Every structure is written in structure tokens, then in C-alpha cells.
Chain A
């Protein structure tokens, strides 16, 4: 992954609009958060292979990181704290936010084909 290039990401978001796409959206502070700090809470959410069609989407700079919102017919998909991106060899848009130690804090990925279950791929 590399640092977000806003115009490149925006162009890809536009390309994927108005068609059925698969979304992976995730945020987490890790399974060990309250193990290493008893005052912390474990929080996280993830949804993989949600099929949506968005009318339009936008990536907005917040100075340092980015927010991305996708407008659906009846709702929204939204991620905050995104710092890095990649358009991979399958043409998927992968967006992620990492902390100073390189740990993933948030991910938003959009693909025209379903995301695989990697474990099965490698069997």
C-alpha cells in the first residue's frame, strides 16, 4: 500500500459507481485492547462481501488522513482515518488506515467480484 493519492482514489471510486460492487468495511482496536490496558474497551466491526450499489462516492482530506463516503439509494457506507491505498492486480480498491506502528485501524475495500475466503484459496 502507499500514501493516498486523492485524485487517483477519487477516479477509482467514480469508476465503481452505479454498479453492483462488494464491500469490505472494518474497524478494530484489536482483540487484546483490554488485556493490555484494563481501562480500554475492545471495539470493532466488520462486514465482508456486502453487495451494494452506490450512486456516487467521495474521498475528503482531513489533513493527515481521509474520510470516504459512498451514497447508496437508501443509505451510506462511511470510513474515517484512511491513510493508504492500493488498486490491486484484480482492480480492487483497497483503502486502509494504519497507526504509527503500522497496525490496521480501519479498512474499506471495494471490488467488482466477491472477496475470497483466503484460507480456502490456499488449500
Chain B
């Protein structure tokens, strides 16, 4: 237990709260340290607060503060990777992988949580997930951390089958909600999107159960 360290790698402030904050809370309750490597500051987000309080140039500052607040709610460390929102798929993958490998090595990760490349809807999600796989692949097999992947595309189960891991995060729902709400500029917009679209129950249920696929290197 004492040598475990969970490293979460997602591109946007709030990905950790929507996608994995129940799981994160579960690890924290077990005394396992969690670090969030956040790829960008979400500076190209469309949600500017409702009513609008941010503009394109100030959004990154708000989102950085919101991330700090969410991290406090979840009791985790955050490191910023310093990329620019909506551009990750255009970065050289090998360079990203080297950079990520160095971070993952330094943190001595036992488990890395990221998006499932190709099944994560947002191009930044797919690109960072793929770079994480490339990063971990560079690590000696004996000391490689596990990778758990979050798939969110509508049809992912058709291709991938059922997830390997499924957490009912009801015991941590309060923490999850608090973390989501810390992302003030995003929370309203994302929750509205979820509530207004035709698969509402499925989306809400998705927030209450966190599922991951385990990656196996061939």
C-alpha cells in the first residue's frame, strides 16, 4: 500500500472531476497519494460561466484557480504539463511520450489513469491517452505501472466490450459533486449539456459509476 501512487493524466481541468473523481476519492480514502498531470488549462473552452464571467484571454486564469479548488476538494496534487488546449493531437507524439515518461518515472507511479485513445471523443483526450501508452511502453516491463483507461464515446462498448473495472462511487458522490462544482466556468455548461440531451439517464448514470479498461501491452 505504502509504495502506491496513482497518477491521473487528462488534458483539461475538470476531466479529473467528471471522469475519475469518485475513483480518486476511493484511493485517497485508502491513503494512496494521487497526482493529477493536467495537460492544458482548458483555455479554448466554450463555457465562459453562466452568466458569462470569463473571456477568451482570462479563461485560463479562471480554470487554473478552479483546478486548484477541485484539487483541494479531492485532496490531490496537481502538476501542469503546459500544453495548449485543442492542440495536443498536433504535437509530436514521441516528444510528449518522453516528457510524460519522465513525469511518471519521477512520481514512481504504480497506476496511471488516462483516456482510452480512439474512444474518448475529444481529440485532446485521444492524443494524450495515446501519448501515455507510448510513455509507459518505454518503461522497463518490471517497473511499468498499470494503465486504466476511461472510454466515453457512445459506441465504445460495441468495440471494447464491458469495462474491466467498475466502481459504484456512491460513497464518494459528495466529493465528486464538490469537485465538479469547483469548476465554476465549466460545471453549469457541462451539467446542462448532460441534462438536456436525449441520453440523460445514461450520462448521469455514467457519472455515478466509473468504469475503466485495463491496457495490456502486446
Which residues does A use to contact B, with CB under 8 Å?
Answer: 1, 24, 26, 28, 30-32, 35-38, 46, 84, 86, 88, 92, 94, 96, 98, 101-105, 107, 109, 115, 117-120, 122-123
Partner of B189 from A94, A102, A120, A123 at Cβ < 8 Å = A102
- Mostly, the B contact residues are loop
Contact with A along B141-172 (1 / 0, CB 8 A): 00000000000111000000000000000000
Taking A38-B154, A119-B82 as contacts, is the C-beta distance between A102 and B51 under 8 angstroms?
A: yes
Q: How far is the CB of B38 from chain A (nearest CB, A)?
A: 10
B84 within 8 Å of A by Cβ?
yes
A-B contact list, 17 entries, CB within 8 Å: A26-B44, A32-B121, A101-B47, A101-B188, A102-B189, A103-B46, A103-B47, A104-B46, A104-B48, A109-B57, A118-B43, A118-B57, A119-B41, A119-B43, A119-B60, A119-B80, A122-B61
B173 within 8 Å of A by Cβ?
no
Chain B residues with Cβ below 8 Å from A117 are 84
A-B interface pairs (CB < 8 A), number = 90
Q: How far is the CB of B81 from chain A (nearest CB, A)?
A: 8
Q: How far is the CB of B87 from chain A (nearest CB, A)?
A: 10
Quick check: A92 and B57 within 8 Å, CB to CB? yes
Chain A residues with Cβ below 8 Å from B152 are 35
- Measured CA separation A49–B3 after assembly (Å): 46
- Measured CA separation A30–B86 after assembly (Å): 10
Contact with A along B35-53 (1 / 0, CB 8 A): 0000011011111111110
A86 and chain B: residue at smallest CB distance: B55
